Amino acid sequence: MMLVPSTLKIYNASAGSGKTFFLVKNYLYVLLKSPNPDEFRRVLALTFTKKASEEMKKRILQCLKEFSNQVVKKEYSSLFHHLVKDLKLTKHQLYERSKRILSSILHDFYSFSKNTSTIDKFTYNIIRSFISNREVTLEMDPKRFLLKIVENLLYRLKNSEEWSNILVQFSLEKLKKGKNWDVRKELFKIAHLMLEENNFFPIKKIKSYSLEDLIQLKNTLIKRTKKFEKECERQGEKFFLFLRKTSIQKNSFIHSDLPRLFQKLQMRNIFFNPFNERLEKYIQKRVFYKCAVQINQKILIEKNKDKILSLYEETKSIYKKNVSYYLLDKFFLKNISILSIIHEVEKEFHFIKNEKKILLNAELNKILYEKITQGTFPKIYERIGMQYKYYFIDEFQDISFLQWNNIRILVENALSENGSAMIVGDPKQSIYRWRGGDSEQFINIVNSKSKNYKKELKTLETNFRSYEEIVRFNNLLYQSISKIFHSTIYRNIYQDSKQKIFKKSGGYVEINFISSLENENYKEYIYFKIKNKIKKLLKQKYVLSDIAILVRNNQEGYFLSEKLVEDGINVNTSVSLLIKNHLEIQIIINFFYILANPHCYQKRVTLIFLLLKNKFIRTKKKDHDFIMKILFYPLDLFLKKILSKNSLTLDKLYNKSIYNISEDIIEAFGLLNKQNTASIYSFLDFVYRSIKSVGNSIIDFLDYWESKKEKESIIISDHRNAIRVMTIHKSKGLQFPVVLLPFTDWNVDSKNQEGIWMDVSPHLYHGLNAVYLEIGPYFKHIKHDENIRNLYEDYLSNTVFDNINLLYVATTRSIEQLILFSKLENEKSVSFYIKNFLREKKIWDEKKYKYFFGKEEKNY
**CA dist 707 → 560, 689, 702, 711, 839 (Å):** 26, 14, 9, 9, 52
Higher pLDDT, 432 or 649: 432
Q: Among 1-10, 246-255, 634-643, where is mean pLDDT lowest?
A: 1-10
Asked whether 703 and 695 are in contact (CB, 8 A), the reply is no
Query: What number of CA atoms fall less than 13 Å from residue 664's CA on the CB side?
Result: 19
**Residue boundaries of the structural domains of the chain:** 7-132+368-460, 137-356, 463-577+718-748+815-860, 579-708, 754-805
| pLDDT given at position 177 | 57
> Considering the chain, what is the average pLDDT of its residues?
87
pLDDT tens by residue, 499-558: 999 998 899 999 999 887 666 688 999 999 999 999 999 999 999 999 999 999 888 998
Higher pLDDT, 640 or 314: 314
DSSP for 823-843 reads ESS-TTBHHHHHHHHHHHTT-
Average pLDDT over residues 213-235: 95
Q: Rounded to 5 degrees, what are φ and ψ at 244?
A: -65, -40
Q: Please tell me if the domain spanning 7-132+368-460 has the same topology as the one spanning 463-577+718-748+815-860.
A: yes
**Residue of 432, 373, 362 lying closest to 199 (CA atoms):** 362
pLDDT tens by residue, 104-130: 999 999 999 999 999 999 999 888 887
Q: What is the distance between the alpha carbons of residues 696 and 268, in angstroms, rounded to a whole number?
A: 65
Q: Rounded to 5 degrees, what are φ and ψ at 421?
A: -150, 140
Residue ranges of the alpha helices (H) in 578-630?
A: 583-596, 601-613, 623-630
Asked whether 766 and 842 are in contact (CB, 8 A), the reply is no
**CA dist 32 → 61, 80, 95 (Å):** 13, 11, 10
Predicted model pTM = 0.85
Quickly state the pLDDT bin for 2 (edges 50, 70, 90).
very low
Quickly state the pLDDT bin for 80 (edges 50, 70, 90).
very high
Residue 538 one-letter amino acid = L
Average pLDDT over residues 219-224: 95
Can you point out the beta strands (E) in 186-247? none
pLDDT at residue 578 is higher than 90? no
Higher pLDDT, 710 or 321: 321
| pLDDT given at position 213 | 93
Average pLDDT over residues 142-164: 78
Q: Among 14-23, 607-616, 802-811, where is mean pLDDT lowest?
A: 607-616
Q: How far is CA 661 from the centre of its chain?
A: 41
Asked whether 533 and 850 are in contact (CB, 8 A), the reply is no
pLDDT at residue 3 is higher than 50? no
| pLDDT given at position 1 | 37
Residues 6+ apart with CB under 8 A from 320: 784
Burial of 504 (0-12, 13-18, 19+ CB in 10 A): exposed
Class of domain 463-577+718-748+815-860: alpha beta
Quickly state the pLDDT bin for 444 (edges 50, 70, 90).
confident
Q: What is the distance between the alpha carbons of residues 158 and 153, in angstroms, rounded to a whole number?
A: 8
Quickly state the pLDDT bin for 743 (edges 50, 70, 90).
very high
Average pLDDT over residues 460-473: 96
pLDDT at residue 254 is higher than 90? no
- 667-675: long-range pairs with CB below 8 Å, 24+: 668/643, 669/587, 669/611, 669/616, 669/643, 669/644, 670/616, 670/644, 671/584, 671/587, 671/588, 671/616, 672/584, 674/568, 675/565, 675/566, 675/568
Higher pLDDT, 289 or 348: 348
Work out whether strand 736-741 and strand 814-823 pair parallel, antiparallel, or are unpaired.
parallel
Q: What is the distance between the alpha carbons of residues 819 and 856, in angstroms, rounded to a whole number?
A: 11
Quickly state the pLDDT bin for 708 (edges 50, 70, 90).
confident
Asked whether 670 and 616 are in contact (CB, 8 A), the reply is yes
pLDDT at residue 774 is higher than 90? no
Average pLDDT over residues 261-269: 94
Q: Rounded to 5 degrees, what are φ and ψ at 509?
A: -125, 135
Average pLDDT over residues 325-348: 88
Percent of the chain beyond pLDDT 90? 46
pLDDT at residue 613 is higher than 80? no
Quickly state the pLDDT bin for 576 (edges 50, 70, 90).
low
Higher pLDDT, 417 or 67: 67
pLDDT at residue 274 is higher than 50? yes
Q: Say yes or no: domain 7-132+368-460 is CATH 3.40.50.300.
A: yes
The secondary element (H helix, E strand) that includes residue 293 is none
| pLDDT given at position 718 | 56
DSSP for 704-724 reads HHHHHTTT-B------SS-EE
Asked whether 594 and 571 are in contact (CB, 8 A), the reply is no
**Residue of 403, 408, 407 lying closest to 364 (CA atoms):** 403
pLDDT at residue 721 is higher than 90? no
Residues 6+ apart with CB under 8 A from 65: 102
Average pLDDT over residues 806-812: 97
3-state secondary structure of 675: coil
**What does the DSSP 8-state code read for residue 86?**
H
3-state secondary structure of 775: strand
Higher pLDDT, 729 or 676: 729
Residue 387 one-letter amino acid = Q
